[in-house]
Structure 1
């Protein structure tokens, strides 16, 4: 497996030159556009690495899967999806059009920014600090990494440049979709996106989902049913408005982030974490997608 991963990484490195690192959050523009790495975590606990697998990056939108798990644990699936839809979108991940154009005024799904902000608002906690500490503790648990923390520079940068997210949040507040103080909710959201991880960390999140909600130490974290729902939404919505194409060519439940990470879960087989900060015009890792496509073809991973 290790040799196969090394070959896949080297074969697809050239794709990094065809994209660009995220620059709308200035701190993310400092990332190495040529970095490319992968970690595979199998359900028997074996881990295989290649490339820049130990480089740290901020989790960004992959945190949406983590916060969705926690919101479901706190509220149950029925209540969570009374506030947030399950439908894919052809609009960008930070679009406000989706909120304005649907009759219920609720976010179409939890994988776009509006949906993730609404998800964060559902997480239990008396204060913003308590809410975020629960997210951080949960992330550390499901990755098995107690050193995960916030990249403070990225967090402050996201907070300073997050006006579009504020617009989404205040729109939802005005329509009764989210309760509580908007700035507190956004603060938790920005911090969650700014948690710093590696390919190994996100591959372990993928392994949890691949194992129907059970950690590698056999501890159940979320129900099988909740896990099924999350993986289904990852298939239809996890790669933003490129999710359909990704499903056709790769066929694995996955979630990307503009930090260059992609977390994927192959049911009953493995979790996968990929890093490639150079993005395509949809906001997905351009080389990371090619790496996953090569891996899916090599091991026949498509669930379809």
Structure 2
């Protein structure tokens, strides 16, 4: 059973929007704090090509931490799991996504997983390219394949805003570089990382990207196997165990789908074999997930039994 009506989806969006005042727009990245907290939009992309939507789904927003699953897929394809997981762990954490604590207490500053900032920075340091521009273009080209869109780029204003205020992320990089977990120039890594986080999509594009993961790496709209099946499986597993920050366990129980969130308010969902979901709701809860987006997914799960468990 699945929602096939934009009108029905709109009714769920309207219900979820009623709790927007309980969340807050991210304010530690200056360029993000201008978003309207009561905005909520959603698109659902099905493998047969049908796409339904509700709200202003053409409104662009930056991927932020949703980009972590994209870069993870890239380095897994380029280097293989053994190489990647020698430098980044596979375990969930109950600590905040930007915590430095586990780097101090774990062996040789190895990040626990690729979905926390330390792990994502280690992953970004592995992206191929001769300079920051090459690496960013490499990431964007892959996003174009996932979304089947040619007009994809990053928001320069958000990238600059993040680059100039990312003091903690720089500290994470230097800490890991001191133990040999990452190599290369920290400022270049930060440039690539902040620009990958600033890649702009809308809900329709995000839903199509989610559909690729839902279909084990096959782009159902082009027929191309964009991500090998085994790597898509690894990515979806991380989305289940670590994708919703330190609320991933609760999310798995309440909603039960692979998903990745970002502090812009975006959520990419991948219901295995069934659909991709793209949500944008800038009002965040206390752990950094879209508050209205979480409410919307709860409503959809109750109605359509989305959980894979």
Rounded Cα–Cα distance in structure 2 between residues aligned with 1:54 and 1:134: 24
Q: Which segment is superposed worse, 143-152 or 205-214?
A: 143-152
For residues 6 and 142 of structure 1, the distance between their equivalents in structure 2, rounded to whole angstroms, comes to: 26
- Superposition map of 1:14-53 within 5 A: 14-53=18-57
Query: How far does residue 16 in structure 1 lie from its aligned partner after superposition?
Result: 1.0
Q: How does 1:50-129 map to 2 (within 5 A)?
A: 50-129=54-133
Quote the Cα distance in structure 2 between the aligned partners of 1:105 and 1:89: 15
Deviation at 1:3, TM superposition (A): 2.3
| Residue 279 (structure 1) aligns with | 284
| Counterpart Cα distance in 1 of 2:162 and 2:90 | 26
Deviations 1:35-72 (A, max 9, x none): 10000001111111001222111110000011111111
The match for 1:164 is 168
Residue in 2 aligned with 1:228? 233
Encode CA deviations 1:251-293: one digit per residue, 9 max, x unaligned.
0100000000000100000000001000001000000001011
2: distance between equivalents of 1:188 and 1:230?
A: 21
Q: Which runs of 4+ in 1 moved over 3 A?
A: none
Q: Is the 8 A contact 2:108 2:181 kept in 1?
A: no
Cα distance between partner residues in 2 of 1:124 and 1:245: 35
Cα distance in 2, alignment partners of residues 242 and 235 from structure 1? 11
Match of 1:148 among 147, 152, 156: 152
The alignment partner of 2:33 has SS state of helix
- Partner Cα distance (1:231, 1:101) in 2: 27
Deviates more, 1:280-289 or 1:147-156: 147-156
Match of 2:224 in 1: 219
Match of 2:308 in 1: 303
Bigger drift between 19-28 and 98-107 goes to: 98-107
Report the Cα offset of residue 239 of structure 1.
Answer: 0.3
> For residues 136 and 181 of structure 1, what CA distance do their matches in structure 2 show?
21
Shift of residue 4, structure 1, vs aligned partner? 2.0
Query: TM-score when scaled to structure 2?
Result: 0.97
**Which of the residues 202, 207, 210 maps onto 1:206?**
210
Q: Please, which moves more after superposition, 60-69 or 101-110?
A: 101-110
Structure 1, unaligned runs of 5 or more: none
TM-score by length of 1: 0.98
Number of aligned residue pairs:
304
For structure 2, the 5+ residue unaligned runs are none
Q: Secondary structure at the match of 1:30?
A: coil
CA apart distance, 1:249: 0.3
1:8 counterpart residue number = 12
Partner of 1:246: 251
CA contact (8 A) 1:27 1:157 kept: yes
